[in-house]
């Protein structure tokens, strides 16, 4: 198994990067949709229904599969011999960033359900602020992996 992971390393890395890009795109876009949803519609109106469809499809059809693929390919990379030096700081800061993004993904899922039920009390301003979470996590992850500090 370990030799197999070493043999397919370039493919695993490429698929991991593609998955991360798809996931990050959704993590950047969904909070922005929430801003427009809470500021431009009322529960039950036609815009509310359109936002609900867009948010549900983005989360279920793109973001969640991309998150799962990111985790699967990332764990495959972690198990590939010679890729991760666990004595370094970078794998731990990257792991912290990925766990933060995963928490954020689930936080967005809860807010999507609340918006669908008409029970969301989060303001557009808060969604705008939360939209910065993936940016901060991305910076931590990229600098950790590239600079290997």
Look at residue 60 in the predicted model and tell me its pLDDT.
98
Contact assessment for residue 135 and residue 47, using Cβ atoms and an 8 Å cutoff: no
* Cα–Cα distance for residue pair 18/61, rounded to 1 Å: 15
- How far does CA 74 lie from the centroid of its chain? 13
**Average of per-residue pLDDT across 22-48:** 95
Look at residue 42 in the predicted model and tell me its pLDDT.
85
**Average of per-residue pLDDT across 55-66:** 98
pTM of the predicted model, to two decimals? Answer: 0.93
**pLDDT tens per residue across span 1-26:** 789 999 999 999 999 999 999 999 99
Contact assessment for residue 33 and residue 52, using Cβ atoms and an 8 Å cutoff: no
């Amino acid at each position: 198994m370990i030799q197999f992971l070493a043999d397919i390393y370039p493919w695993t890395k490429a698929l991991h990067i593609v998955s991360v890009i798809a996931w990050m795109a959704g993590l950047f876009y969904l909070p922005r949709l929430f801003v427009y949803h809470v500021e431009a519609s009322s529960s039950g109106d036609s815009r509310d229904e359109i936002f609900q469809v867009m948010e549900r499809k983005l989360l279920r059809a793109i973001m969640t599969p991309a998150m799962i693929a990111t985790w699967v390919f990332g764990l495959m990379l972690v198990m590939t011999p010679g890729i991760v030096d666990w004595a370094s700081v970078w794998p731990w800061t990257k792991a912290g960033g990925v766990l933060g993004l995963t928490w954020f993904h689930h936080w967005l899922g809860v807010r999507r359900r609340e918006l669908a039920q008409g029970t969301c009390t989060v303001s557009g301003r808060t969604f705008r602020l939360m939209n910065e979470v993936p940016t901060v996590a991305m910076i931590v992850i990229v600098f950790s992996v590239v600079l290997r500090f």
